[in-house]
Structure 1
Amino acid sequence: MSALDQTHDRTLTSWVTSANGHADFPIQNLPFGIFQPHGGSPRGGVAIGDEILDLREAVSLGLFEGPAREAAEAASGATLNPLMAVGAAARRALRLRLSELLAEHGAERAKVEGYATILLHQAADCTLHLPARIGDYTDFYAGINHATNVGRLFRPDNPLMPNYKYVPIGYHGRASSVRVSGGDVVRPNGQRKPASEEFPSFGPSRNLDYELELGIWIGPGNALSQPIPIAQAAEHIVGYCLLNDWSARDIQGWEYQPLGPFLAKNFHTSISPWLVTAEALAPFRSAQPARPEGDPRPMDYLWSEADQQAGALDIRLDVLLETATDRVAGRRPVRIGGSNTRELYWTPAQMVAHHASGGCNLAPGDLFGSGTISGTTTDSFGSLLEITEGGRKPLALPAGETRRFLEDGDEVIFRAHGVRDGFVSIGFGECRGRIAPAI
């Protein structure tokens, strides 16, 4: 599990001045992504303040050696899959070297700063791409408050299914429709059958929703039929992002019996473009919250004392909404919900260990969704389904509009930050999507 080191020092500042005090990308973060400068080709980079460090150019300038060079070369291509495949030791060596190169008082500042026009690109002038070629995508259901809230809508007396507290529930999603933050999310068509209608009909989803999730990027994988022990599972996680698992609730309500989500989920999944490394998040590790009295202890293959003591993450999450009317009027997006990753019932390592426990082979670039992360109060819910109680109690917005579910022109924005006394706060960047009319 990632440990604290000099890269987390709160006094560390960068000669890239926009990084100092940056809400998301101070020098203590250094997330990886794939960017494309104007007139150039996609390549690996590192977010630092309002700029992006070009790893391809940094490698060509001979700024790395040893394991750090191995990782930098792996991260400098058109996808981060090669970086995800290297071991944690090389990844950590690269992080340490990047911190040294970008530090305000670094020994090589004058040399590196002299290459600034080659090494740095303004992020606003670049296009961001998916960080990796996603081979497989699995969506878990580890947010127990969300599971309880949704279950209560349909089964008031028995909201959670009997297996929920024993097994990390999940399903295989569609990797082909995962898209990077920004742009349109086209309202899907599908079969719908509300209780008020005798027969199903086909047409645009009437109950389109967002789901606030944490994305988990898999690093080194495992061989087919070889489980990943829980004590080693964290080493298979390279980093995290924000994930919006857009959901067509009316389509889902008709189609999910008996096999679960299908068209209601596979039309679009949005993720934030930057891979925030497990190493960067070391200050925001926390103990897994104690299970309520009477809940079963996880089975041995899911139990690790070290994971229970430091395997959870303490990340603050926010959901904002900008309606088309807000946009025209020049109003700022409104916060409508948010939560904390400590609300997850299962740790990321438990998700990895369970996924591989039957022999499934994970691979670098695989993506997990945590499941919707909700708190226990309306303002901490991670979906409109919960906030509006299935659409029965519309959400009142400050400018006078209301929402049962998302309308065309609405833009949903996720943000996340690790905040802890004694450390510099770091963020994930935004995960955005704007609803476009159905085709």
Structure 2
Amino acid sequence: MTPLDLHHLPYGAIGVDESVHLAVRVGDHALDLAAAGAGTPWADALAMPTLNALLDLGPQAWAELRSWLQETLPTGALDQHLVPLADVALHLPLEVRDYVDFYASEHHASNVGAIFRPDGAALTPNWKHLPIGYHGRSSTVVVSGTDVVRPCGQRKGPQDPAPVFGPSVKLDIEAEVGFVVGGSTPVGSRVTVDEAGDHIFGVALFNDWSARDIQAWEYVPLGPFLGKSFASTLAGWITPMAALEAAKIPLPQQDPTPLPYLLGKDLYGLDLRLEVLLNGEVVSRPPYRTMYWSPTQMLAHLTVNGASLSSGDLFASGTTSGVAVDERGSLLELTWNGTEPLTLADGSSRTFLEDGDSVTIRATAPGPDGSVLTLGEVSGTIRPAV
């Protein structure tokens, strides 16, 4: 076990003897927290199959548990509860209560605007005034490695005389970062930018699969619905925010200055370096450092109308895209809505996903003293429509 292993300590849920136990990853092992945590102040929460009870304990408990692990693991006292990663199956590490997806990349939003509004402004008038988002379907958030069934729905191309029903023919990925929320708040209250850090437990890579043809036909006037709600995939390991202090960077300049409720001292970007692999081949390297809105601004905006938080809420960043062509985080952008196909190393080409395609998103982040953290990857394979 290395100092970097002891610094990272991402949380997950593993299968143990036909049951599910919470765990932290320590190098190439998982520490069974249900067993290791017996007799500790957090024993009841650690005995649960998901993180929700631990999330409800709040930031002081999260910090105390992390300190205990970092102090106790090097002594060898917990070695009997370490299980090789190769021997465990990962489960969804939290019961997702509510799920919100934002649209926080200026480059992604500009690309999408240029694709769908070529004769108009790339960004909508509200985009730089508030973190735009939509409420998704929490029950279809699945853990990394889960197959994704191609969705069916209505679609209508610009030249089609009438809509048709059938499997999506423009199935896409969205390379995102998810943020796990802890600490419930009452309806009618607000969480400020500077209070948001007490509710953001950690981050996990996220793929918000999207049926672009279904989405394009349905989204006016109320936004994403069936084109998004069939599946979203969350990494099996959640990196605590405490492990990412070295990854925090200043935000890009926000112009115009946001309204006062979106301002505060705790504003930051994250220097996460993502890679998108299609059938094992890297097709994009999106930089999260270019994201326009801070996670704390997203959470402050989410609650400014009095919407409550629940432990286990999940909000995601929206597609991560950079300036360069090979930094785009969706096939919609990489192929410019199918007009510029990708050519893969095997000679095949893609505009959107085909049945059998596997997508993996992975990422690294700066750690302490020049080290590099490797976040838990998120992957899925497309299966035919049913």
TM-score, structure 2 normalization: 0.97
* Structure 1 residue runs without a partner (length 5+): 1-13, 15-19, 323-332
Q: Could you say which residue in structure 2 is the equivalent of 1:129?
A: 91
Correspondence 1:131-146 to 2 at 5 A: 131-146=93-108
Q: Could you say which residue in structure 2 is the equivalent of 1:226?
A: 189
> What CA distance in whole angstroms lies between the structure 1 residues aligned with 2:217 and 2:363?
33
Deviation at residue 221 of structure 1 after TM alignment: 2.3
- Once the two structures are overlaid, the 10-residue window that deviates more, 175-184 or 72-81, is 72-81
Q: Could you say which residue in structure 1 is the equivalent of 2:203?
A: 240
SS at match of 1:42: strand
Amino acid at match of 1:307: D
SS at match of 1:235: coil
Q: Could you say which residue in structure 1 is the equivalent of 2:263?
A: 303
> What CA distance in whole angstroms lies between the structure 1 residues aligned with 2:323 and 2:287?
11
* Structure 2 residue runs without a partner (length 5+): none
Is 1:79–2:50 an aligned residue pair? Answer: yes
C-alpha contact (below 8 Å) 1:28/1:424 kept by paired residues: no
Deviation at residue 403 of structure 1 after TM alignment: 0.3
Provide the identity percentage. Answer: 44
Q: How many residues align?
A: 385
SS at match of 2:370: coil
SS at match of 2:237: coil
Deviations 1:81-113 (A, max 9, x none): 01111121111111111111223xxxx33xx1x
Q: 2:316 aligns with which of 355, 369, 384?
A: 369
Q: 1:100 aligns with which of 71, 83, 88?
A: 71
- Once the two structures are overlaid, the 10-residue window that deviates more, 418-427 or 246-255, is 418-427
Q: Could you say which residue in structure 2 is the equivalent of 1:328?
A: none
Q: Could you say which residue in structure 2 is the equivalent of 1:321?
A: 278
Q: 1:257 aligns with which of 200, 220, 242?
A: 220
Deviation at residue 28 of structure 1 after TM alignment: 1.5
Deviation at residue 406 of structure 1 after TM alignment: 0.5
Pairwise CA RMSD: 1.5
Q: Could you say which residue in structure 2 is the equivalent of 1:58?
A: 36
Q: Could you say which residue in structure 2 is the equivalent of 1:425?
A: 372
Amino acid at match of 1:287: P
- Once the two structures are overlaid, the 10-residue window that deviates more, 86-95 or 259-268, is 86-95
> What CA distance in whole angstroms lies between the structure 2 residues aligned with 1:421 and 1:284?
9
SS at match of 1:307: coil
After TM superposition, where is structure 1 displaced by more than 6 Å over at least 4 residues in a row?
A: none
> What CA distance in whole angstroms lies between the structure 2 residues aligned with 1:339 and 1:182?
21
Amino acid at match of 2:112: V
Deviations 1:137-170 (A, max 9, x none): 0111111110000000121231111000001101
> What CA distance in whole angstroms lies between the structure 2 residues aligned with 1:163 and 1:206?
31
Q: Could you say which residue in structure 2 is the equivalent of 1:415?
A: 362
Q: 2:117 aligns with which of 136, 147, 155?
A: 155
- Once the two structures are overlaid, the 10-residue window that deviates more, 228-237 or 345-354, is 228-237
> What CA distance in whole angstroms lies between the structure 1 residues aligned with 2:92 and 2:193?
29
Q: Could you say which residue in structure 2 is the equivalent of 1:203?
A: 166
Max Rg structure: 1
Is 1:387–2:334 an aligned residue pair? Answer: yes
Deviation at residue 282 of structure 1 after TM alignment: 1.3
C-alpha contact (below 8 Å) 2:37/2:46 kept by paired residues: no
> What CA distance in whole angstroms lies between the structure 2 residues aligned with 1:421 and 1:27?
11
Distance 1:421 1:131, change over 3 A: closer
Deviations 1:314-363 (A, max 9, x none): 111110010xxxxxxxxxx1100121221211100001101110000011
Deviation at residue 420 of structure 1 after TM alignment: 5.5
Amino acid at match of 1:171: Y
C-alpha contact (below 8 Å) 1:316/1:419 kept by paired residues: no
Q: 1:33 aligns with which of 12, 21, 28?
A: 12
Q: 1:119 aligns with which of 81, 92, 117?
A: 81
TM-score, structure 1 normalization: 0.85
C-alpha contact (below 8 Å) 2:367/2:373 kept by paired residues: no
C-alpha contact (below 8 Å) 1:320/1:337 kept by paired residues: yes
Q: Could you say which residue in structure 2 is the equivalent of 1:170?
A: 133
Deviation at residue 251 of structure 1 after TM alignment: 0.6
Deviation at residue 242 of structure 1 after TM alignment: 0.7
